[in-house]
Structure 1
Amino acid sequence: MTDQTIGRTPVPVDTDDLSGLLLRVAELRDKAALAALFSHFGPRIKSMMLKLGSSDAVAEDLVQETFVSVWRKASMYSQQRGAASTWIFTIARNLRIDQLRRQSNKPYEDLDDLDMASDAPLGSSLVEQNQIIERVTKALTSLPVEQQEVVRLSFIHDMPHAQIAETVGIPLGTVKSRLRLAYERLRPMLEDLQ
């Protein structure tokens, strides 16, 4: 039990009877009882807020808001409904939820007025892409048929060299040499595209 002073008269404060302190705040508007509740619960509420991810400053603000609410709403507390600690921690939890809701509210933006870049290519890009495709196709048709086949399977169908050899029915070394010969022929025709 500790003594708190209101004006010049010491008032006994029993922190073992938290419900009694809360009732004194409700019935007598006892500031010493509120101070005792604050001393007891303040650090615990701050710790809870920090564990829930609040910054130090926000946690302290929430502790202050909690005890302002306790002062204002003390008359709503009933021992029959639960312990003082449950009632006070519920107030703190609700204030934390309200604080998170205020943070998450963003001003309304009308999406009709929002300019977003299109993923579709521009007309000039489409023309350029078509020209590149045309050049690559023309260069590929200049290759012998057996080289065209291994290039097509390697790059268009993304087959590994061993699978190309199996599919076409030729040795792996032949696949590699056909691809090398094809690269040597295509390089001078398409090197400006890199």
Structure 2
Amino acid sequence: MDERPTPAAAHPAADASVSMEDLLLAVGRAGDRTAFARIFAYFAPRVKAYLRRLGVEAGSADELVQEVMLLVWRRASTFDPAQSSASTWIFTIARNKRVDALRREARPEFDPTDPLLLPEAETPADDRIQARESAERMRLALRELPPEQAELLRLAYFDEVPHSTISAERGIPLGTVKSRLRLAMDRLRKALRESA
């Protein structure tokens, strides 16, 4: 009696009646290339059709199919037929790959030359000096104002307190607050022109 295995028994991928689950197990246990070739031939076109139905362009779908089938090859040892069928397992991988691709599309690639990422250009020295001189002229001009007008300017323009609030807090009519602010601004402009 000849006990040698028949070719189908020796190589489960050669037997047409072997299930996809058994083929995946053969790939996972022994890295069976023939079994993987059958899995690829069966699932690659189906995965592509699935991705196309999800709206993936043909070229991108081909790339995703390659990624999916590569993961099937690499992760076949994690397949558990008690948990899911081969098709459920493979289509879950395809769905996850599609989600990953959508995330990559939504998140732009890092561009080190993006103007938002570059440090602000340093202000030229002459501009810094001019700004310092202008600030000093402003301080001196504010000191020349009567204290009440200087205080109103500080509240209205530096602290951004509304005119109506200044009126209520100081017990001054709103029209008086506005006229004092106008008078203070006129004096300030005049002082700044003279110091320039």
- The reply to whether residue 29 of structure 1 matches residue 34 of structure 2 is yes
Match of 1:143 in 2: 145
Partner Cα separation in structure 2 for residue 34 and residue 170 of structure 1: 86
Sequence identity (%): 34
Match of 1:5 in 2: none
Give the TM-score normalised by structure 1.
Answer: 0.56
Matched-pair contact (CA < 8 Å) for 1:141–1:148: yes
Q: For residues 118 and 169 of structure 1, do their structure 2 counterparts lie closer, same or farther at Cα, with a shift above 3 Å needed?
A: same
Structure 2 counterpart of 1:139, one-letter code: A
Partner Cα separation in structure 1 for residue 76 and residue 172 of structure 2: 92
Deviation at 1:131, TM superposition (A): 1.7
Partner Cα separation in structure 1 for residue 170 and residue 85 of structure 2: 82
- The reply to whether residue 38 of structure 1 matches residue 44 of structure 2 is yes
Q: For residues 142 and 85 of structure 1, do their structure 2 counterparts lie closer, same or farther at Cα, with a shift above 3 Å needed?
A: same
Partner Cα separation in structure 1 for residue 33 and residue 119 of structure 2: 65
Q: Which runs of 5+ in 2 are unaligned?
A: 1-15, 27-31, 113-117
Q: For residues 85 and 191 of structure 1, do their structure 2 counterparts lie closer, same or farther at Cα, with a shift above 3 Å needed?
A: farther
Matched-pair contact (CA < 8 Å) for 1:153–1:159: yes
Question: How many residues are aligned here?
Answer: 164
Deviation at 1:37, TM superposition (A): 3.3
Aligned counterpart in structure 2 of residue 171 of structure 1, from 170, 173, 176 = 173
Higher strand share goes to which structure? 1
RMSD over aligned CA atoms reads: 4.6
Task: List per-residue Cα deviations over 1:102-152 (Å, max 9, x = no partner).
Answer: 999x99x9xxxxxx6468866655543332222112222322333222112
Task: List per-residue Cα deviations over 1:9-52 (Å, max 9, x = no partner).
Answer: xxxx89xxxx724646858937677534334443124545x5xx
Q: For residues 168 and 40 of structure 1, do their structure 2 counterparts lie closer, same or farther at Cα, with a shift above 3 Å needed?
A: closer
Deviation at 1:179, TM superposition (A): 0.9
Partner SS, residue 29 of structure 1: helix
Identify which range, 144-153 or 123-132, moves more after superposition: 123-132
Deviation at 1:85, TM superposition (A): 1.0
